[in-house]
């Protein structure tokens, strides 16, 4: 039962006939009010009501805040608790283990090097003594040629070269085997290994850069950047895959 939104609690009491007024007065002193009174033969049934004590929103917030303060105090007390010798107690140690704090200088992860970094470095006569010596050889079948090709297989080299021979590949009309020598073209000397672009066309496979002439052939001086493919023992050729080719 409620009037104007007020909620009530109800109580029914019985009083002997003639004592109704005294019983009602007693309950009214405790905050109850009379709702109804029903006389019977020997007693009367009296219905009383009292407004329920509803907690206000502010009271609820204050109580909740108080609970949080108490919990915080308990936790703080546990954290600050120490044994007689100043060392943390077992409770403190357990909390520390569950929530370690970051103190001191963090460890740095060891630097890692990617093997592909070395593979991506372009080898030139100016930066690699092995390559410098290789380009000055007088015997293109020297054992050092095979050793170099094996050691640097898959890596890129860049050097001045010239076309010493150019033939169609297996009779094809637009694909060629191009023989390269180190340095400028000469009809009498050709130092260094015998390099070859095998089975390439002259339009896209060479990856031409810079000013490109109308034709390409024997005697052209080039700047070649290419990946080392393999050494072919039967011909003493070092096979290269073109990366970039420009004319000098």
Per the structure, the count of domains in the chain is 2
Domain assignment of residue 98, yes or no: no
The answer to whether position 151 is within a domain reads yes
CA 41 to chain CA centroid, Å, is 89
> In the prediction, which pLDDT does 91 show?
45
Report the alpha-carbon distance of residue 215 to residue 213 in Å, rounded: 5
* CATH number of the domain that residue 233 is part of: 2.40.50
Query: In 3D, which of 155, 148, 208, 149 has the Cα closest to residue 178?
Result: 208
Assigned domain for 234 exists: yes
Q: How far apart are CA 125 and CA 202, in angstroms?
A: 26
Pair 27, 127 in one domain: no
What is the mean pLDDT of each successive set of 10 residues along the chain, which is 248 residues long? 72 84 89 90 86 60 52 51 52 43 44 45 94 94 96 96 95 94 92 96 94 92 97 96 97
Bridge partner list, 247: 222
Domain of residue 186 covers 119-247
182 sits in which H/E element: strand 176-182
Please report whether residue 86 resides in a domain.
no
Are 132 and 217 found together in one domain?
Answer: yes
Residue 44 CA to residue 38 CA, distance in Å, equals 5
Question: Which of 34, 51, 68 lies at the terminal end of a domain, its last residue?
Answer: 51
Q: What pLDDT sits at residue 5?
A: 72
Give the pLDDT of residue 68. 57
3-class SS at 43?
strand
198 part of a folded domain: yes
């Amino acid at each position: 039962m409620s009037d104007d939104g007020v909620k009530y609690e109800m109580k029914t009491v019985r009083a002997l006939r003639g004592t109704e007024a005294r019983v009602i007065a007693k309950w009214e002193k405790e905050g109850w009010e009379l709702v109804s009174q029903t006389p019977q033969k020997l007693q009367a049934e009296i219905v009383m009501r009292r407004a329920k004590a509803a907690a206000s929103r502010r009271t609820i917030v204050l109580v909740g805040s108080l609970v949080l303060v108490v919990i915080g105090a308990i936790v703080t007390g546990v954290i600050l608790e120490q044994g007689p010798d100043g060392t943390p107690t077992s409770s403190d140690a357990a909390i520390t283990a569950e929530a370690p704090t970051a103190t001191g200088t963090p460890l740095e992860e060891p630097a890692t090097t990617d093997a592909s970094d070395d593979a991506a470095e372009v080898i030139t006569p100016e930066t690699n003594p092995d390559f410098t010596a290789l380009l000055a050889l007088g015997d293109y079948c020297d054992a050092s040629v095979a050793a170099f090709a094996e050691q640097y297989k898959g890596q890129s080299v860049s050097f001045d070269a010239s076309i010493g021979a150019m033939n169609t590949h297996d009779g094809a009309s637009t694909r060629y085997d191009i023989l390269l020598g180190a340095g400028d073209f000469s009809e009498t000397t050709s130092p260094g290994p015998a390099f070859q672009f095998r089975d390439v066309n002259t339009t896209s496979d060479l990856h031409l850069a810079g000013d490109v002439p109308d034709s390409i052939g024997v005697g052209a001086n080039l700047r070649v950047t290419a990946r080392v493919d393999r050494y072919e023992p039967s011909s003493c050729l070092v096979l290269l895959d073109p990366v970039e080719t420009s004319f000098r």
